[in-house]
Amino acid sequence: ETGVTQSPTHLIKTRGQQVTLRCSSQSGHNTVSWYQQALGQGPQFIFQYYREEENGRGNFPPRFSGLQFPNYSSELNVNALELDDSALYLCASSPYLNTEAFFGQGTRLTVV
């Protein structure tokens, strides 16, 4: 167990809808990053938050957005869902200057 928890574990949404995924970071960690993992692929970096500010973003459209709260928990929001958004979404936390990222168990999103 890493201490990083994500909710919900599974989610089914309809194309065009909006979804919010949540992540509670490990105690003492002020940096949270989000990854999208398609089936059978490696995770792809979506963005990272440090002390409530986005400080890094991958090649994802603006309909992928996020928040980090004062307690360092985080949300990933996806608007106008597309079928290709179906994937495992992973959250990882780390102390900012530390090297390791510790992952949650992921949220499996299915868009139908």
Partner 1 sequence: AQTVTQSQPEMSVQEAETVTLSCTYDTSESDYYLFWYKQPPSRQMILVIRQEAYKQQNATENRFSVNFQKAAKSFSLKISDSQLGDAAMYFCAYRSLPGGTSYGKLTFGQGTILTVHP
Residues of this chain that interact with partner 1 (CB under 8 A) are: 2, 31, 33, 35, 40-45, 48, 50, 55-56, 58, 88, 90, 92, 96-97, 99-106, 108
| Residue 8 preceded by cis peptide, ω within 30 | yes
Q: Which is nearer to partner 1, 71 or 99 (CB)?
A: 99
Closest by alpha carbon to 68, among 49, 87, 85?
A: 49
Burial state string for 21-33 with b = 16 or more CB within 10 A and e = fewer than 16: bbbbbbeebbbbb
Under 8 Å between Cβ of 41 and 17: no
Q: Which is nearer to partner 1, 14 or 99 (CB)?
A: 99
